[in-house]
Structure 1
Amino acid sequence: MGRQETALMVLGEIKTGAIDPARFEPDGIWWSNAGFSLSIAEFNGLLGLLHEQTEAGIAVTPGRVLEVDDTVVIEATSHAMLRNGTRYDNRYAFLFRFEDEVLSEVREYSDTAHVFQTFDLQT
């Protein structure tokens, strides 16, 4: 499987509430412009909390996909309906950095204010 396919699979797994840690280096991280840098296990914990608040998970729809050197960049949008009736729609830029064919880091850029306003998260 190529790097672009791996990155797209990770985005697809977000809807399930957990991503496969086997796609990452043991010390792989998920960084967000929300102000955190988490291990993949920690990120899966956060993703699970968000998933529990939705009716059917957060669907991420990829747009442009670019691959340069060890990095795949994907523009994307998301949609989710929360159990409380609130809609979550966001725009993203994801940077997936690879070491060989394994992910070492994901950098997520999004409207973080919208995340915190929509989901019940402790800041």
Structure 2
Amino acid sequence: MTAAENKQLLKTAFDAWAAGDIRPLLDAMADDVVWTVSGHNSWAGSFRGKDAVRRDLLGPLGAQFADTYTSTASRFVAEDDVVVVEAQGRVTTKAGPRYDNKYCFVFRLEDGRIREITEYMDTQLVAEVLTELAR
């Protein structure tokens, strides 16, 4: 796929996620996707495979939220097989505090599938608001 096609695939996925539906993003992931979370806390590290992303990252994360998490993209930059997305997440945690984090995602795509995701965000907010991830 071209850079423009990769960018459009992610625009479509983020349009759905902005409405609370992460399924198009999950559907676009390769089965052996690697999602790497930056930082130096319990949430940091690599999650290998779509099942691990769902079970070990998104499941524990979603369990902390009181309502539907949304992520609204504000910028897409594409070159070759890489698309960079700036986004703003919004949600209230079950404990009460807001978890409204800003993100920069770097996606690498291959044959119309997301192969790699590198996530950069406010790690201090993670430490202050989220409970530690048990591994």
Q: TM-score range by the shorter chain?
A: 0.7 to 0.9
Bigger drift between 88-97 and 38-47 goes to 38-47
- Contact kept, 8 Å, 2:73 with 2:86, in 1: the verdict is yes
Alignment partners' CA distance in 2, 1:54 and 1:31: 21
Could you list the structure 1 runs, at least 4 aligned residues long, displaced by more than 3 angstroms after superposition.
13-22
Match for 2:10 among 7, 15, 20?
7
Aligned residues between the structures: 123
Which position in structure 2 is the counterpart of 1:44? 54
Question: Deviation per CA, 1:81-121, whole angstroms, max 9, x where unpaired?
Answer: 11221111111111110112111101111112211321112
Alignment partners' CA distance in 2, 1:28 and 1:120: 25
Question: In the alignment, is residue 80 of structure 1 matched against residue 91 of structure 2?
Answer: yes
Greater fraction of residues in strand: 1
Question: Deviation per CA, 1:39-75, whole angstroms, max 9, x where unpaired?
Answer: 2222212211111221223211101111111011111
Alignment partners' CA distance in 1, 2:34 and 2:92: 27
Alignment partners' CA distance in 2, 1:51 and 1:13: 15
Bigger drift between 59-68 and 11-20 goes to 11-20
Match for 2:32 among 27, 30, 36?
27
Q: Which runs of 5+ in 2 are unaligned?
A: none
Alignment partners' CA distance in 2, 1:84 and 1:119: 9
Sequence identity percentage: 28
Give matches, 1:52-71, under 5 Å.
52-71=63-82
AA paired with 1:41?
A: D
The secondary structure found in structure 1 opposite 2:107 is strand
Q: Which runs of 5+ in 1 are unaligned?
A: none
- Contact kept, 8 Å, 1:98 with 1:104, in 2: the verdict is yes
AA paired with 2:71?
A: V
Alpha-carbon RMSD across the aligned residues, in angstroms, is 2.6
